[in-house]
Amino acid sequence: MGNTSAEATHVGRVSSVRKPATADFVFAALACTAFSSATLLAGRNACAEPMSTSPEQAYDQGQVPTARAVAMGGALNALGVSTTALFLNPANMSLARVYHIEGLAAFQPESSRQTYGLAIVDSVLNSSHVAGGLGGTWSTLDPDGINRQWTDVRGGISLPIASFLSIGATVRWLSVQQAVDAGPFGASLASGGTPTAPIFQNFTFDFGATASLEGFRLGVVGHNLTNPGTGLAPTTAAAGLGYSNDKFSLEADGMLDFTTYASTRGRVMAGGEVFVAERYALRAGWRYDTGTKLNTPSIGLGYIDPKWSAEFAVNHDITDDHASTLLSISLRYFYDPTGSTSPADQTDSF
Three-state DSSP at 234 gives coil
Q: Are 334 and 309 in contact (CB under 8 A)?
A: yes
pTM of the model: 0.82
Q: Which amino acid is at 14?
A: V
Check whether 12 has a pLDDT greater than 80. no
The answer for residues whose C-beta is within 8 angstroms of residue 279's C-beta and 6 or more apart is 14, 19, 303, 304, 305
Q: pLDDT tens digit string along 167-176?
A: 999 999 999 9
Three-state DSSP at 17 gives coil
Across the range 112-129, mean pLDDT stands at 88
Phi first, then psi, for residue 55 (nearest 5°) are -60, -40
Q: pLDDT tens digit string along 90-105?
A: 999 999 888 999 999 9
Across the range 331-346, mean pLDDT stands at 62
Q: Tell me the percentage of the chain whose pLDDT exceeds 90.
A: 63
Across the range 237-252, mean pLDDT stands at 95
**Residue 338: what pLDDT?**
57
Buried-state track 17-53, b at ≥16 Cβ within 10 A, e below 16: eeeeeeeeeebeeebeebbeebeeebeebeeeeebbb
Q: What's the count of helices (H) and strands (E) in the chain, helices before strands?
A: 6, 14
**Residue 163: what pLDDT?**
81
Q: Tell me the percentage of the chain whose pLDDT exceeds 70.
A: 77
Across the range 308-312, mean pLDDT stands at 96
Check whether 216 has a pLDDT greater than 70. yes
Check whether 22 has a pLDDT greater than 50. no
Q: Whose CA is closest to 313, among 36, 114, 70? A: 70
Q: Which amino acid is at 295?
A: N
**Residue 328: what pLDDT?**
98
Residue 136's pLDDT band, with cuts at 50, 70 and 90, is very high
**Residue 37: what pLDDT?**
47
| pLDDT, the chain, mean | 83
Check whether 15 has a pLDDT greater than 60. no
**Residue 33: what pLDDT?**
45
**Residue 306: what pLDDT?**
86
Upper half-sphere CA count for residue 181 (Cβ side, 13 Å): 7
**Residue 54: what pLDDT?**
87
**Residue 129: what pLDDT?**
76
